[in-house]
Chains A and B, each alone.
Chain A
Amino acid sequence: MENLERMLTEHPFFEGLNKRCLQMLVECASNVRFDAGEVIFREGEEAGLFYLIRHGRVSVETFAPNRGPVIIQTLGEGDLLGWSWLIEPYRWRFEARAVELTRAIALDGTCLRGKCAEDHELGYELMKRIAYVIENRLQATRLQLLNVYDGIRS
């Protein structure tokens, strides 16, 4: 447990979070690892967990007709993987696969939702942090959609 608390404290996603909240999170956390090529979750499956990547890299993928599986984004050390555990109907929208050996902290979504409902300070802290991640991913997606690399000279 002490080890998990230290790992949570060291992860950028929980930077600055107070000890009381951290201790509540530890009760929902576990240490996980995925081998290169291992599927972490599949599109449509129940989103029971989310992951804080400690080492390694994960690709977020979808299947496009006539193109096959396509990588949408690659996540790495310090990143958060997955927020479908927070939003109904709690189903993964994409597939995630470890590109290389990946170590992460898994957090149980059902456990966390329960704790957030009981303790609004924890809930607010978690929402703020997840909103920040979502905002960054939204901006990155907008840039991807802009296809910004076209039409300039060298």
Chain B
Amino acid sequence: MVADLSDPMVPSPFCLQKVRKETYDTFTLELEPANGADGFPFAAGQFNMLYAFGIGEAPLSISGDPAKPQTLVHTVRAVGAVTQAICRLKRGDVLGVRGPFGNHWPMEEAVGSDVVIVAGGIGLAPLRPALYYLLSNREKYGRIAVIYGARTLEDLLYKPELEQWRSQFDLDVDVTVDTAPASYRGNVGVVTTLIPRARFDPFHAVALVCGPEVMMRFTVRELESRGVDPENIFISLERNMRCGIGFCGHCQFGSAFICKDGPVFCYAEIQPFFAKREI
């Protein structure tokens, strides 16, 4: 039996199975349907609405492996009332889930190309499913470059996995932090400074970018200056998603709704709106 998500406005109860502390304010939660049903399929880049009972809902990207839908994985940063309540939950607690919503990273379109993943801060969470997918289908893609930036070493997500990815020969992983003690042997500097050095063919590459919008703006500029076509740059946007199905209008972005037409957008299509302050 698959978890009943037939009515997109009705949350299904999911039980918290495991919590892993990533940083001082960010946690990765593993959830399973409370009624013993199977999980639900999702595509890399989609999000769910997570409901902390009595507090409210928050849109959260799925950060787990699309090939393992029986466990729903979310990485949550405690920044508001809802996410703080979600992060306080303990093993066995129940929360409501609606979804999956939105479109996904263009994994099929990227077949045969190099793929460059650029993540800033917690932006690695929505990109992790894409990386799982790429690694599961490694033979279909060219070079894969992962470029990840965070504020400090303490703010890096998925440290054990990062180490594992860095040790793989079929993957280039470059991590940078904004500041570090002198004993650190890795990169220090903003994430955009790694793009000129990354190993990929800009004329045959698809770029997947997620992070704060300022970081994405500068990342896009850097990718373009290396020669990546705006048609091949995809970014994941965030607005105030509420209903998740394009009814309420809270997440309108130009002529699109981020919950329904996004959150993943081809940069060439949203270029006119992207730098507009009012949108």
Contact = CB atoms under 8 A, between A and B. Distances in A.
Interface of A: 57, 59, 61, 67-74, 76-78, 97, 99-100, 136, 139-140, 143-144, 146-154
Interface string B170-214: 000000101111101111111011001100000000000001101
A6 to B, nearest CB: 22
Given A78-B196, A149-B211, A140 B189 contact: yes
Given A144-B178, A146-B214, A153 B190 contact: no
23 contacts: A68-B182, A69-B181, A72-B188, A74-B189, A97-B182, A140-B192, A143-B215, A143-B218, A144-B179, A147-B151, A148-B215, A149-B120, A149-B121, A149-B151, A149-B155, A149-B178, A149-B212, A150-B212, A152-B212, A152-B238, A153-B61, A153-B238, A154-B122
Nearest to A60: B188
B79 interface: yes
B179 A154 contact: no
B189 A70 contact: no
Contact of B190 (A59, A76, A144): A144
- Secondary structure at the B interface, as helix, strand, loop or mixed, is mixed
Interface of B: 26, 58-61, 63, 74-77, 79, 83, 120-123, 125-126, 149-151, 155, 176, 178-182, 184-190, 192-193, 196-197, 211-212, 214-215, 218, 238
A78 B187 CA distance: 15
Contacts of A72: 179, 188
A153 B180 contact: no
Nearest to B76: A154
Nearest to A97: B182
Given A71-B188, A77-B197, A78-B197, A152 B182 contact: no
A154 B60 contact: yes
A76 B215 CA distance: 21
Given A148-B211, A152-B212, A153-B79, A74 B176 contact: yes
B123 A152 contact: yes
Pick from A69, A73, A151, A153 the residue with the most CB of B within 10 Å.
A153
Contact of A61 (B63, B182, B185, B238): B182
B151 A150 contact: yes
Contacts of B63: 154
Given A59-B182, A73-B188, A139-B218, A154 B126 contact: yes
Contacts of A78: 196-197
Contacts of A151: 79, 212
Contacts of B212: 148-152
B193 A71 contact: no
Nearest to A61: B182
A59 B103 CA distance: 41
A33 B60 CA distance: 49
A99 B190 contact: no
B189 A73 contact: yes
A153 B197 CA distance: 29
Contacts of A69: 181-182
B182 A153 contact: no
A73 B187 CA distance: 7
